[in-house]
Structures are given as structure tokens and as C-alpha cells.
Amino acid sequence: MEYRQLGDSKVKASVITFGAWAIGGAMWGGTDEEKSIEAIRKSIELGVTSIDTAPIYGFGKSEELVAKAIVGQRDKVQLMTKFGLVWEFEEGEYFFDLIDGGKAHKIYRNARKKNIIRECENSLKRLKTDYIDLYQCHWRDNSLALDETMEALGQLIKDGKILAAGVSNFTAAEIAEGSKITPIASVQPPYSMVNRDIEKELLPYCLAHNVGVIVYSPLQRGVLTGKFKPDHKFPEEDHRANQPQFTPENIERINKFLETIKPIADSYNATVGQLVICWTIAQPGVSAAIVGARDAAQAEQNAKAAQLNVSPADIDLITKRLQALELAAV
């Protein structure tokens, strides 16, 4: 497994980072705790030592499962969690309603100093640790100046509660502004073969300013594995039912593209999903890719993607074939 340094921090991320959103259950149609714990442990065994989670993932459930999975292995892992999405009270910038178990929870972006300190202490308790490797602002809170958020992160570093500060879903301009207060080790944006917006501005900025880029949804929530058919039906509370990439027409288009790169995957004795992950972490400026796993078998398949020695020529060939893929507007 390859590990890449995040900015000027002391934190290194495994190029495949375990994504613990789905194991929280909420928005993913539930979870199997035992299998989730096995998935994390198998990942660590195979060198996937960076684990990305957040309090909002299952309202603390994801962090609690991560804590159970890493018992006796804290020194082997890099814990990456977040702050800034609250459901316990209404304060900050209203974001959306999260439906879980038939109940609607109003979610607010809250990056006030008082709340950041509160969330950090709660995450430390749920994760059963005395420090967090990378603490990330989940979403920009536009109801207050960014200075307050970054000052709070700087204080947490000074206090030894976190090793490095990161952000998620920030623009290049916001990173530039925030870095004036506290160094930003990394940013976490969405990025995949069918969502390449960050190539325009964010990736070039991060390359130029030594900011790590940990991308999420590299498999576009699973559709880039080729396992979904146009007639697939999701459970009622599964958020993917409303994602544009999961319309019957777009699933069909994506699957046709995946068929064009399957011979390349076959030549490396890999699955299409593994090849997609490998292509992602080969892109200039990308430090790591967050990939979720519901069980040990999925975790093992994900980890193998980092072992593929795909040639630059084949990476370029995949990129050229990708140019022919055009999704239908929704």
C-alpha cells in the first residue's frame, strides 16, 4: 500500500482510504454492524489504514463502529473525521432534511468555534481516542466568517486534540482564505470519472500550493462498478434513488463505457471497479480515494486496486475512452 503525505502536515493517508459513510446506515438503507467491523479490520490488515468518518454518518453510529473495529490498533490507523453538520439543535445555516427511519432531521451547517469544540470532544469519546489525525470542516458555514472556523482548528492543533486541519467541499478560494489563519493539510471533494469538475480549478490550485486532495465517491456511489442495471430499484431511504447518475438511461450509458475498458481490467486480472479506483488515484494531484465497503470481501477487493501496476499508457487510454461518455441531463 502506498501512503501519501497531506500537505505540510505529519499525516500520511493510504491511497485507498476506508469510507465509513455507508456503515452509519442513514441514507444507505441500514447497516450490518458485524460485517462493517469486519470490513474495517480487513482493510487495516491489507494496509488501508486511513479511515474517513463523520458524526452525521448515522448520527454518531459510524464513529462508534470505527472505534469498535480499531480496538488495539489505534497506532496503526489514521482517523479522519469531520465537524459542522448538526442535527441536535437549530443553529447556523440550514442545509437539508435527512430522512432516517421515517423521521425527518433538520441538518444545519454550523462551524462556530463553540460547536467545533463540542463536536470534537464528542467525536473523541465516540472514537475512544485522545486525538484525531485529520479533523475536517464538512461543509462551509456561510452564516459566519471563515476566520472563526479556522481559529478553532488552530486551537485544537495547539491543544493536541487534532494533528492536522482539513476541509471538505471547499473551493480553491476558500482554501486560500482559510490557510491564512491555519494551515490546511487537505481538501475532500467529490471526484470520479463522471464527475470531474475539480480538474478545472481545485486540483491545479492544490498541486501548486501543496494541499492534499482526498476524493470521495470515486465509484460514484457504486455505479462505476458496472453492477447496476437500468431497472435497479433502491430502498426508499437510499439517497442514490435521486442521484442523476442512477437514472436508467445514465446507468445504461455508463455500463456501455465500462464495457470498453473491461479488456484493460482483464489484462491486469482486475475488476472494472478496481481499474476505476486505480485510474482515480493516478490522476495528478489526487492524494487518496475514499472507498466504502460493507463487508470484508468488498474491503479486500478495494485494497487490491492499490496493487495494480497499470501503465501510464493504459491510464491515458482509459481517459481517451472516457471522453466519449456523455450523461443525459436530468
CATH number at residue 97: 3.20.20.100
Return the pLDDT at 237: 59
Does residue 73 sit within a domain? yes
Residue 206: half-sphere exposure toward Cβ, Cα within 13 Å: 31
Instruction: Answer yes or no: is 304 within a domain.
Output: yes
> What mean pLDDT comes out for the span 283-299?
94
- Cα torsion at 223, 227, 232, 236 (round to 10°)? -60
pLDDT at 294 over 90: no
Residue 191 annotated among the catalytic residues of the structure: no
Give Cβ neighbours of residue 223 (< 8 Å, ≥ 6 apart). 194, 245, 246, 250, 251, 254
Give the total residue count for the chain: 330
Residue 165 lies in a domain: yes
On the question of pLDDT at 82 being above 60, the answer is yes
Residue 320 lies in a domain: no
Which of 95-99, 101-105, 114-118, 165-169 bottoms out in mean pLDDT, i.e. has the lowest?
A: 101-105
Q: Pull the grid cell for residue 254.
A: 455508463
Beta bridge partners of residue 99, listed in sequence order:
104
Q: Quote the pLDDT of residue 112.
A: 97
**Averaged pLDDT for residues 104-109:** 91
d(CA 130, CA 194): 39
The lowest-confidence range among 27-31, 43-47, 263-267 is: 27-31
Q: From the candidates 57, 135, 191, 205, which is the catalytic residue?
A: 57
Whether 228 and 222 have beta carbons less than 8 Å apart is answered as: yes
Range of the domain at 192: 3-220+286-308
Query: Does residue 215 surpass a pLDDT of 60?
Result: yes
Cell readout for 315 is 491510464
pLDDT at 227 over 70: yes
Quick check: 165 and 116 in contact, CB under 8 A? no
Residue 203, in any domain of the structure:
yes
Q: How many structural domains comprise the chain?
A: 1
Region label for 246, one of left (φ > 0), alpha (ψ between -120 and 50) or beta (otherwise): alpha
Q: Residue 25 pLDDT > 70, yes or no?
A: no
Q: Would you say residue 235 has pLDDT above 70?
A: no
pLDDT above 70: residue 184 = yes
37 residue type, one letter: I
Question: How much is the pLDDT for 5?
Answer: 98
Q: Which three cell numbers stand for residue 257?
A: 463505457
- Look at residue 15 and tell me if it is in a domain: yes
Q: What does the pLDDT read at residue 330?
A: 56
Mean pLDDT of the chain: 92
pLDDT at 242: 67
Determine the average pLDDT of the residues in 68-95.
94
Q: What's the pLDDT score for residue 269?
A: 96
- Checking if the pLDDT of 288 tops 80, the result is yes
Check if the beta carbon of residue 100 is closer than 8 Å to that of residue 130.
Answer: no
With respect to residue 259, please indicate whether it lies within any of the assigned structural domains.
no
| pLDDT classification of 32: cutoffs 50, 70, 90 | confident
The answer as to whether 98 is a domain residue is yes
**Percent of the chain scored above 70 by pLDDT?**
94
